[in-house]
Amino acid sequence: MGIFDLPPRTLCIVATILGLLMVDDLTAAEQNSLGNFIILIGQVLETNAAQQAVISARQQAQINRMHEERIQKLESFLGNSI
């Protein structure tokens, strides 16, 4: 079982436990630095995923327009041949 197979609450509990375990071994400055670093990683992942979603949505919209054009041409062809 991988991290992406965990239920949402279990994943949050694991993250909480890991965070609390690291607190004792780090100074406040180190905690701040590490926390900001982890947040930055998350922001990079979020930005990348959002951009991929935008590109995918545009590609799907283009495919949908092509299908609509083909349907209109077929309807026109069928309407003229009846």
Reported as a single tens digit per residue, the pLDDT across 43-72 is 999 999 999 999 999 999 999 999 999 999
Q: How many domains does the chain have?
A: 1
What would the mean pLDDT of 12-24 be, rounded to a whole number? 94
Q: Tell me how many degrees the CA angle 47-64-75 measures, rounded to the nearest 5.
A: 175
Mean pLDDT of 9-24: 94
Question: CA triplet 57, 8, 29: central angle to 5 degrees?
Answer: 95
pLDDT of residue 79: 86
Determine the Cα–Cα distance for residues 34 and 53; give it in Å rounded to an integer: 29
Q: Is the pTM of this model over 0.85?
A: no
Domain residues for the domain of 23 are 3-81
